[in-house]
Structure 1
Amino acid sequence: MLRLFAWWFKLKGWKIKTSFSGKADKGVIIAAPHTSNWDFVYSLAALRIVGINAHYLIKKEWFKWPLTGILHKSGGIPVERKKTYNKLVESIIDMFRQKDELILMIATEGTRKRVEKWKKGFYYIALGANVPVYPAYLDYKKKEAGIGAPIWLTGDKEKDAKVLRDFYSDKTAKFPEDFNLDAIRFD
């Protein structure tokens, strides 16, 4: 399936721009803006093309036939959204501690609709697991997928949010009206 996604990515004229060099053993890839179901297809295609074997969180409701096998094989980790926030974050931090290699992609907005505030789970996962954040994007205006240089979060929420806002400030979502740059905050 990922091969098919990569073929589609190239057929549609997309290109990849990345600061990601070499092999990363652990890290959290944050995928934004997320305003379309196509983001999933293009993101997985781009990761395959650059050779990153990432896992990703996806609501458990998607894990039904015929998608179950496809989602598991492509790195999907089902998430029970009613599970308490702290338990989910802690269980993912534990996954990082138990594995020698784990790259996890998270759609920080948590939905395709416009949000007023990003989900903070990725922030606390990266800090708690002591792993870098790799900001990734899809720019529909440029038909470009990219991964920025690793960012080691400092715990200074305002400073970290500004770094991410600066990174995403020139990226164009599929549906720009649904991407809110001011939502990048961790208060």
Structure 2
Amino acid sequence: MQTTIFNTPIITPFLRLIAKLLLKLHGWNIVADEQAMKLKKYVLIAAPHTSNWDGYIFILAALKLGINPHWMGKDKLFPFPLGGVVRWFGGIPVDRSKANNLVDATINQYNAHEELVIGIPPEGTRGKSERWKTGFYHIARGAAIPVACGFVDFPNKVAGIGPVMEMSDNLEEDLKQLGAFYANKKGKHQSDYTPPI
């Protein structure tokens, strides 16, 4: 994969120090499941996603944890000349206007790389919607990789990576388990949170 803010020689170690300092100044605690930290490939759920501040905390947490996540964003976020900067922050452009199969394309990316973490906000938007989008589930199943529960909890100022889950052939049951984990995780704008089911 491309060079990002999370793996640039010389620069990234310096940014990790800044991230740790900023997190301390903001009063945030970053935690990580030991199993997730040992994995080289997984889908990283990013929830709750109710504010642009989620991305800021996500970047600081990833720097502190020493992981190299990527994320998918609207292709409108990647115009020249800022597109290179957005990619450096781990962005992968997605053209939502085309009827391309994003799930299959993402599975192919996982199959082509020995190490890959893609953060996916299953709510799909910062606003309230009916339920989670299930692309993350189909990607994990298709690529035969687990899902790790990335989270932010604004009231308690805790973020990180929670438990790792293997997706079963029962989508509704998996969503219930994910819902139980995220039930006490509060976004910045909790009224905009969309639960899994």
2:165 alignment partner AA? I
Calculate the aligned-residue CA RMSD, in Å.
Answer: 1.7
Taking structure 2 as the reference length, the TM-score comes to 0.86
Whether 1:119 aligns to 2:133 is yes
Q: Structure 2: which amino acid aligns with 1:19?
A: D
In structure 2, what is the Cα distance between the partners aligned to 1:117 and 1:84? 22
Q: 1:89-135: per-residue Cα shift (whole Å, max 9, x none)? A: 10110111111111110111111001111111111000000110001
**1:77 equivalent among 89, 92, 107:** 92
Q: Secondary structure at 1:110's aligned position in 2?
A: coil
Q: Name the SS for the 2:85 alignment partner.
A: helix
Give unpaired runs (5+ residues) of structure 2: 7-14
Distance 1:60 1:6 in 2: 31
Aligned residues of 1:5 and 1:42 also touching (Cα < 8 A): no
1:33 to 48, 57, 65: 48
Query: 1:1-187 alignment to 2 at 5 Å?
Result: 3=15, 7-21=21-35, 22-65=37-80, 67-84=82-99, 87-181=101-195, 184-185=196-197
Aligned pair count?
182
TM-score under structure 1 length normalisation:
0.90
Change (3 A) 1:67 1:15: farther
3-state SS of the aligned residue for 2:30? strand
Task: Measure the CA separation in 2 of the matches of 1:123 and 1:83.
Answer: 21
Instruction: Spell out structure 1 runs of 4+ moving beyond 4 A.
Output: 4-7
